Each structure stands twice: as C-alpha cells, then as structure tokens.
Amino acid sequence: MKLRNALLLGATFLAGIACAPEMARLAHHFGISSAFAEDADNADTYRLLSLFGDVFERVRADYVEPVADRELVENSINGMLTGLDPHSSYMNAKAFQDMQVQTRGEFGGLGLEVTQDNGFIKVISPIDDTPAARAGVKAGDFILALDGKSVQGLSLNDAVDKMRGPPNSKITLTIKREGVEKPIEVSMKREIIHIQVVRSSLEGDIGYIRLSQFTEQSDSGIRQAVQKLQAQAGGRIKGFILDLRNNPGGLLDQAVAVSNDFLNHGEIVSTRARHPDDSQRWDAKSGGDLTNGLPLVVLINNGSASASEIVSGALQDDRRAVLLGTRSFGKGSVQTVIPLPGNNGAIRLTTARYYTPSGRSIQGLGITPDVEVHESRETNTALLPEREADLNHTITNSGGTAQAAPPRSDLPPLAKEIPPRPPANWPAFDAAKPDTDFQLQQGLKLINAMVATKRASAD
C-alpha cells in the first residue's frame, strides 16, 4: 500500500494547487480544494506543478480542436512514467484489463510482444504459432505503420490497441528490419490468441522443452512437459534442453517456480528496491528438480529478457545448466503493476533491480552464454537497438558485482569444437524443421557430450 498511497498523495497535490486563475479552474474541475497548495513547503515543486497547470489550461483553451480532459491527464501521466525508463508506463482501464487477460495466457490480436523506442514500436518477440509468427515478423523488427498510418505520436498502449481487433479482421504492418534497405509490408488476420507457452518434443533420448513466455501457465506447463517426455521415452531420457530464445519474460513468481523446477537448493534471485524493507530473496525448495539432476542445456539469445534472464542466471550461477547461444537482452529491473482507484487503470512502475545468486546485476549487460553460438552467419551491424543498453532512459547497473559468470572448467572437450556460426552450406532456417536450427543442433551435440561425460565419470 505504500506505493499506492504515495501515488494518491501525488495526484491530490497535482490537482489541488490553485493560486492563478488557471489553477483555480483546474482544481475546481477536479473537485479538489485549493487549500492543500497553501501548505506546500517546496517552492520549486510548487512552481513546476503550477507550470503543468498553466500548460494544461493553455491546451484546453487553444489547441486546434477540443481535447477531453481525461485524455490530457492520461497522456501526462504516461509521459511522466515513460520518461523514467523504457518499462514504466500508464495503462488505462482497457489496457489494464488486456494485460490481466494476457498474463492468464489468452488475448486477442496478432501475437506480438512489443516495446516502444524512438517513437516507433519495436518487436521484442513474436509468440509461437500466432499470426505474427506465421507471417514472418522477427524479434528486433521496428513497426513503422499500421494499415499505412504511422505509429509515431501513438503511445505504446494505443499502438497495441490498434493491433488488436475482431478475429479474421485484416491488418497490414509496415516494418523496418535490420539489413533490409526498404520497409517491408506484412499482412495478416487477427486471431484469438490462445498462448501455448510450453511445447516439447523428443530428440532421440533428449527432451526438448520450449518456453515462449512466463504466464500463469508456465510452471505447470513445464511440469506437464517433463512428465510427458519421460513417459514417451519410457523413463530413459538422458538430458534436457530448455529453449528460452526470444522469450520476453513475464511474471516474476513464474520465473522463480520454473527455476525451482531444475534446482534443489540455493538462491534463485534477489531484488533490491529503493527502500530496504521492500527488498526480497527467493530460494529453491528441496526436491524441486523435476529431472533429478539430468544434464541440462539452456538456449538463449538477444530476445531472452527479464524472467528468462532470471532463470538463465540462476541455473548458470548454480552450475546446474550450460547456457548456449548469444548474449541475452539485459533487462535487470522489476516492474510492479499498481492498480489505480476508481477504475482508472494502473501504472507499471519500475520498483527494483534483480540480482542473480552470485550478486550480478544483468541490467544493460545481459547474460553471457557459456558457449557462444549464433543463429546465422550474418554479422550484426547494430543499425538498430537490440538490447536493453540500446534503449533510451535505461536505469543504471548498480549495486551488483557487475561481473560475468566465470568461465566453465567442467565442460566436455567437444564444447571447444562447437563453431560460433553455421557453415556456409547450412540450410536456411525453417521453424518447422529442427534440423535447420543451428543453435538447437549444437545444443543437442553439447548435451549428448555432457551425457557421455557424466556416464564416463560414473563408470
């Protein structure tokens, strides 16, 4: 309640100042007494809030066409929050409801995880088996226009709202992709998105588990996948691959639960907030490892963010898994969703940084894999932002050890032979053909070598 009460106090102060006639009208409009302003003891703050009131009244009076007061206030709140960092924002009542539906694992639209950067909408990741994924939208794409209309000037919530709509309705996205000179137009039909966050398959005697995001179904989905794979293999699975590539994150409690699905002991993650009393730590529960210590490889890339990095960092620090792929996104902050009274939506506010068990803050740095393997031969030219450190207004990396995990000395000899990029004759990637997935194939080689090493040491 501390954060919520502080917010209410700020809102009352903002709406209550009324010395100039414009401010009096503003306070009267919101039904707030002007007496509060007389008690203000911070002259600079008062002057700044008076400035806000002056601008508010000027816009109401002179903008080229009438604007609803609610729209002005909501835009002001959103501007205040988005100016802090890339992940704080305001959600009106509809956007808040949509977010709650999404975290439950079902929502209408295209199946995109997006953020806002430099006035455009950036794709964090397309969700598996959705219109966006099938249409070929990729992580890192910038959405320039929707149905031919530029997204510049739209808030993130407004852009998302425009991308959602009735099932079977058509929409065309204009996107800019790194390495492609001209914008690309991609058309698709909206669907009701039922997110299957966990997919699994047997690759020989190795269990492959793909986790696309962290919703309320993630932990239960992982548990069901492990049981299903064990049953399919007759209990003879030799190891597991956990694929977190292009997983943009989600719920913190699910990141903790999924980490515990592969851990029996030790710290998983800790958070440090502005106020020490709000800091927390989560530890693994004994007997939590569903795989009974079988060799584990985790696949990550630059689209692996937030909760994905919590899981990756915990398993890497504990030496429970070997990470293969490319450096992760680097989002080391925690957002708290704070509902606002009166059905006025909610704010998403960055309230803490999180730290891996060894004390690392990955904010702006990401998780460095133990074995670096790129998905293609293309060299990243870094024309467009692709990680947290490339975004505007990012929070600093603070309070942690700020060190990468030490090099592994327990990897099988084959790890040194794994090429960092596919050979020239490697087939073009096709999501329906696992043998074209270079990172996955190297992960399978690695885990089979880990299985052999474990068997040899047991003998």
The phi and psi torsions of 295 (rounded to 5 degrees) equal -50, 140
Give CA–CA dist 47/19, Å, rounded: 11
Q: Residue 204 in 3-state DSSP? A: coil
The answer to whether 167 touches 108, Cβ cutoff 8 Å, is yes
The answer to whether 323 touches 268, Cβ cutoff 8 Å, is no
Give CA–CA dist 426/401, Å, rounded: 39
The answer to whether 273 touches 239, Cβ cutoff 8 Å, is no
The answer to whether 267 touches 281, Cβ cutoff 8 Å, is yes
Q: Which residues are CB-neighbours of 210 under 8 A, at least 6 positions away?
A: 128, 198, 199, 200, 243
Which residues participate in catalysis according to the annotation?
306, 317, 331
- For 81, 144, 196, 373, 432, the CA distances from 132, given in Å and listed in that order, are 28, 15, 15, 26, 15
b/e burial code for range 346-358 (CB count within 10 A of at least 16 → b) = bbbbbbbbbbbbb
Helix axes 21-30, 43-62, angle to 10 degrees: 80
Amino acid letter, residue 255: A
DSSP class of residue 368? P
